[in-house]
A and B are shown apart, each in its own frame.
Chain A
Amino acid sequence: MRLMTTAVLAATALTAVTLVARPAAAQPVELMLWHMEQPPHRVARVQELINSFNAAHPDIVVTQEPQNWGEIYAKAPAAIAAGTGPDLLFAIPDFTPILKDIGALTSVADFVAELDAEHDFVDSTVAAYSYDGGVWAVPLYNMAMSLWYRKSVFEEAGIAVPTTWPEWKAAAEALSNDETWGIGLPANRQLYTDQTVYDFMVNNGASELYNEDGTIRFDNPQTVEAYDFYAQMQAMSPPDSTSWTWGEAEACFSSRACAMILQFTVITTYDTQAEGDPEDLGVAPIPHAEGQDESYTIAYPNAVMLLSQDEAKREAAETFIRYLLEPENYGRFLNMEPGLFMPVTADGATAESFWNDPLAQKYRSQIEVMIENAQNGMLFGFTSGRTFPSIAAISAQNILAETLQRIVVDGESPADAVAAGQARMMETIE
């Protein structure tokens, strides 16, 4: 009996030890991704990629919650402060400083260097997130503005694609008639106008908003000339362009009411809402002022920020980003909106997965020009390797667009408007 009791006790102890010693089934690392690509087809494409990633990585579970650009500037800091923020969050350059300032970001310099060695990032896309001794986000895709037109309309009018401002103005004048506006340029106090105004500034040598010491240098002759020329061109735009955002410009072009527009892309809209003839859709670099050597454009290198401080989650997030940037996946990711999102890596620009998309194949020549234009991309506040995070406040208040409205709507002279713009910028960053 005693022997039996001893045996039972021993067996129980052995079982207990075995149970304790056996490793608990590892829980997968859960990652929450917030991005601002809300249209249903983009959400669906991101979900496809997430599904295939999750299937290939059973130890990681990624989920997405699309957010809206309109609210994310307030929502993300609030969520992070309350401990309900995401682990990965998409960004544009002027959003990142806001989260960096509240201590939500850790530099990803080493990780970006590793990815750069493997995929070769477009330098300007990394530069936009490199300041204060760190790299604060991983570039994912680029957007650059171009000049859009119809080849047949230019041919009919006997006009060559303009490369300089005088040629551009002459083309717009020649194309203006009872049926068509020569060009569609916005004058709304909104981000789209900030972007198009900056297109004019960079093409007149006024790309820098800051001096090296961080003081504002907005009020200079090149900027005044750029605004003056913008106002002259804007006079050939539809009267409602003072309230335009991107969609109205695209509609104007697609309906043939505007002969030219500046846009990141019109491919999807042109294909679904206009005639959809790839042979007729023209895309070109934005014309530059006389005396400038080449054309530049505004470009938005979009990126992803890693917000989690948890080591396992950061590792999992890096694994997910590595996966997205692999050429066989990267093209599928970019083509969530074909023709809008440009690659930020050298191997991405040649990836079969990118060019295999039917729309990318159909409009290949246009997309190639867009990629080329993106090489000369700049973004206000993030130029010449100098980044001033206070640009976030200037951008948030649309001061570039506000300055234009002083000219176009209030009738001020370009010099006075730019001087007032400089004062507003200084007041904003104080």
Chain B
Amino acid sequence: MSRGWAWGLSTAGVGAFFVILIGLPFWWVLSSAFKAPQEIIARRPTMVPESFTLQHFEKLLSASAYPTYLANSMLVATAATLITLVLALPAAYAFFRMDFPGRERLYRAILIAYAFPTVVVLIPLYGMFAAIGLVDSLVALIIVDVAFALPFSVWMLRSFLATVPKEIEEAAEIDGAGTLTLMVRIMLPLVAPGIASVGIFAFITSWTEYLFASVLIVSDSNRTIPVGFSGIIGQYQVDWGLLLAGSTLAILPVVALFALIGRWFVAGLTEGAVK
């Protein structure tokens, strides 16, 4: 009994340590976004704010194009996530269930996409997009984000599909289900945690993408958060309040997404890990 008590206490202690370790920087960013400028840069950081102001948020939302960047990022990340999911599921199902020549080799080959530093393809891609008139277009960013998220998404989803007992598929086939019906009506609901995991992966990949967004987008009205925000905070002179307010707003959509489907994401991680 006493061992159980000690075990619980030490578990709670370790848990609290990691919560503080991970949570403290986030707390400092969130709380400092509401502090007066002098308190933000004070010699001794204050963990509990001694002042309160909304001036940084007001300035961010009224004097900069931050709302536009936010809307662009939402559009690009949402579209990239949906397209990735729509393409990844049938591809993963094909790699998992269908027999075709070179299936295993092709399955391994798709990860070659990650073998090269992305900067290597930056200039060629710019040339290609320029040739088809997609420079300075959000469509270009969606295409790039999908292209980079898709290979890993296919790998992840195939692992999730492998956790579904074959008997379920066989039963559906006996009942006359075709390939499409099997995939959409049988497999899709069963790998929902995997879909959530891939969705979050694709969304965060797109939400934080900087390199291509910085080069392919020219006009301020088409910038996404990572690029637009880096310009707002300045080079020689940093407006720390603006930086913290922008960071706070930038993490909200990701936090909201995790809050909605985070439970599935965690379940998906563990399920996908074990066949």
A-side contacts of B230, CB under 8 Å: 68, 70
- Inter-subunit contact A250/B238 (CB<8 Å): yes
Q: Give B174-227 interface residues, CB cut-off 8 Å to A.
A: 214-215, 218-220, 227
Known: A75-B215, A255-B42. Contact between A247 and B234, CB under 8 A? yes
Stretch of A76-84, A124-132, A352-360 contacting B (4+ beta carbons < 8 Å)? A76-84
A-side contacts of B131, CB under 8 Å: 82
- Inter-subunit contact B232/A40 (CB<8 Å): yes
**Minimum CB–CB distance for B274 against chain A, Å:** 41
Q: Which residue of A lies closest to B129 (CB)?
A: A82
With an 8 A cutoff between CB atoms, is A273 at the interface?
Answer: yes
Known: A75-B214, A78-B123. Contact between A39 and B43, CB under 8 A? no
- Inter-subunit contact B218/A254 (CB<8 Å): no
With an 8 A cutoff between CB atoms, is B236 at the interface?
Answer: yes
With an 8 A cutoff between CB atoms, is B12 at the interface?
Answer: no
With an 8 A cutoff between CB atoms, is B58 at the interface?
Answer: no
Complex Cα distance A268/B43, Å? Answer: 19
Q: Which residue of B lies closest to A192 (CB)?
A: B236
With an 8 A cutoff between CB atoms, is B239 at the interface?
Answer: yes
With an 8 A cutoff between CB atoms, is A304 at the interface?
Answer: no
Q: Which residue of B lies closest to A40 (CB)?
A: B64
- Inter-subunit contact A82/B65 (CB<8 Å): no
**Minimum CB–CB distance for B40 against chain A, Å:** 8
**A interface bracket (residues with beta carbon within 8 Å of B):** 35 or more
Q: Give the residue of B37, B130, B238, B240 whose beta carbon is less than 8 angstroms from that of A82.
A: B130
**Minimum CB–CB distance for A72 against chain B, Å:** 9
**B interface bracket (residues with beta carbon within 8 Å of A):** 20 to 34
With an 8 A cutoff between CB atoms, is B135 at the interface?
Answer: yes
Known: A265-B236, A268-B237. Contact between A255 and B41, CB under 8 A? yes
Q: Give the residue of B127, B135, B238 whose beta carbon is less than 8 angstroms from that of A246.
A: B238
Complex Cα distance A273/B37, Å? Answer: 5
**Bitwise interface map of A from 262 to 282 toward B, beta carbon under 8 Å scored 1, else 0:** 011100110011100000000
With an 8 A cutoff between CB atoms, is B231 at the interface?
Answer: yes
A-side contacts of B42, CB under 8 Å: 255
Q: Give the residue of A66, A250, A251 whose beta carbon is less than 8 angstroms from that of B231.
A: A66
B-side contacts of A264, CB under 8 Å: 236
With an 8 A cutoff between CB atoms, is A179 at the interface?
Answer: yes
- Inter-subunit contact A65/B237 (CB<8 Å): no
Known: A179-B43, A272-B37. Contact between A71 and B236, CB under 8 A? no
**Minimum CB–CB distance for B118 against chain A, Å:** 12
Complex Cα distance A265/B237, Å? Answer: 8
Complex Cα distance A250/B237, Å? Answer: 7
With an 8 A cutoff between CB atoms, is B2 at the interface?
Answer: no
- Inter-subunit contact A39/B38 (CB<8 Å): no
With an 8 A cutoff between CB atoms, is A340 at the interface?
Answer: yes
**Minimum CB–CB distance for A190 against chain B, Å:** 11
Known: A78-B126, A82-B130. Contact between A38 and B232, CB under 8 A? yes
A-side contacts of B219, CB under 8 Å: 65
With an 8 A cutoff between CB atoms, is B63 at the interface?
Answer: yes
B-side contacts of A143, CB under 8 Å: 236
Q: Give A234-260 interface residues, CB cut-off 8 Å to B.
A: 246-248, 250-251, 254-257
- Inter-subunit contact B231/A38 (CB<8 Å): yes
Complex Cα distance A307/B28, Å? Answer: 46
**Bitwise interface map of A from 34 to 48 toward B, beta carbon under 8 Å scored 1, else 0:** 001011110110000
Q: Which residue of A lies closest to B239 (CB)?
A: A39
A-side contacts of B233, CB under 8 Å: 39, 247
Q: Give A7-40 interface residues, CB cut-off 8 Å to B.
A: 36, 38-40
With an 8 A cutoff between CB atoms, is A111 at the interface?
Answer: no
**Minimum CB–CB distance for B132 against chain A, Å:** 11
B-side contacts of A38, CB under 8 Å: 231-232, 234-235
Could you say which of B40, B227, B235, B237 has the most chain A C-beta atoms within 10 Å of its C-beta? B237
**Minimum CB–CB distance for A195 against chain B, Å:** 10
**Minimum CB–CB distance for A176 against chain B, Å:** 14
Known: A70-B230, A250-B237, A273-B41. Contact between A78 and B127, CB under 8 A? yes
Can you spell out 11 A-B residue pairs with CB atoms less than 8 angstroms apart?
Answer: A40-B63, A41-B63, A43-B220, A68-B231, A78-B123, A84-B130, A84-B135, A247-B236, A251-B240, A264-B236, A265-B237
A interface with B by C-beta (< 8 Å): 36, 38-41, 43-44, 65-71, 74-75, 78-79, 81-84, 143, 179, 246-248, 250-251, 254-257, 263-265, 268-269, 272-274, 337, 340
